[in-house]
A and B are shown apart, each in its own frame.
Chain A
């Protein structure tokens, strides 16, 4: 989860998990909604299964299409339009080829764009470090919530240290 999650502009209370770009008079306007308000705006009450939510997200991506339309993956041959039509990518390499459009899509689906879970044996330490930072951030939030400010400060320092470590040159992306 991001540190700085925007708050829903509708209710002003819950964290926003839906980030939409509307074009008004040719200018992009950003909107941020929480699940509840977004569902209500979209005709409320419907359960958003992953498939339905994904299709809706793709529909909202229309502006990106112009930019991406020309790109094609050298490995599997799909272009961005085909991806949108099938809602599936053609091969692992597509995550690099269509990265900029995917980044936003993935952000909307998951509220995050970086893996911090398990890694296979041959992988580098990136995800592991992020997982550790993530865990420390949770501890820090709990410490703040229970007013253990000294502990929270210590954690803040540890997190800072770890973040600095990850800014060192990384292995190339797999």
Chain B
């Protein structure tokens, strides 16, 4: 004879006689909880039913947390890098003009270039930059020199200005080098004294950057006096940048290559999306696997026990059984998705996080610390929740739906066999 353990809570009766009256406050809390599960009895039944399968419940919870966290981190990182690049480069020059010749980039005459750029209608400001790549102690570094443009005053407020023979370095170089001297090699070799370090919060723009005096930069890159690496141009409105490119190109007597702010920002957006796309490829089979696991767990819980048959035999309706299964799925799913969202949000938006540099951007020794924008993060997270939660619910409810409409005798007989 099969023994079926009938839940005692379903039978009417009084409290056990040895229960001592609790203090008043505790009584109030207990009363509220009782009120809650009196109003929503299926909720308590669902949680209790889950606790009968602790290993399956915990594993399902953890696998869902992992899936949401990984997918969320990939989505958020892509979106946040794109938005942060847009915000940081909002103050960048509208157009960067470089002189080209058959051998590559070449220096352009500073004053003449500025005069020619200013003559183009729509250009409100023009300046030159002296910069390039030099070989440093740990590999290639970006070396920037100051020119006589108006932008110097902005920088002087937050960064110590290097004099001749001095260098101010980014945090990536400062952490690599314990020495106070920096040796740089390009066209010529320079030995500079490190006099300052840029703030760690500038890591996203100047992690492996060296700021030097313009004369030192010219000497390092072999740029003659009066010449510059490239020209920066500002226009009144960003949309004008594309429109003036043909005029700007015609204004110079030598061939030039121009990069607009929009192009530069777009390149970072697409690059981060491409890198995160690698994660998406892995996510599709992972989501399928989760759906199969969910289906298997819930189907197993239903068919391996005679609960459904017993409940129906006791008078539960199909709706009751379906609601309980839905609540079970939600009791696991909502905390799992929330935890996954919190984990992914923390991974991406924790100030100074540096793991994306190692994982996606090829840094080896010291990766730049990221300080990313959170705008749009919630929308992205909602998309992920929908993407994962709907298949999860479908996988969880399908076996319940099938079981709820079946004959209870089948379950009871299958248990007997």
Do these two chains really belong together in a complex? no
Interface set of A (CB-CB < 8 Å, partner B): none
Chain B residues with a Cβ under 8 A of chain A: none
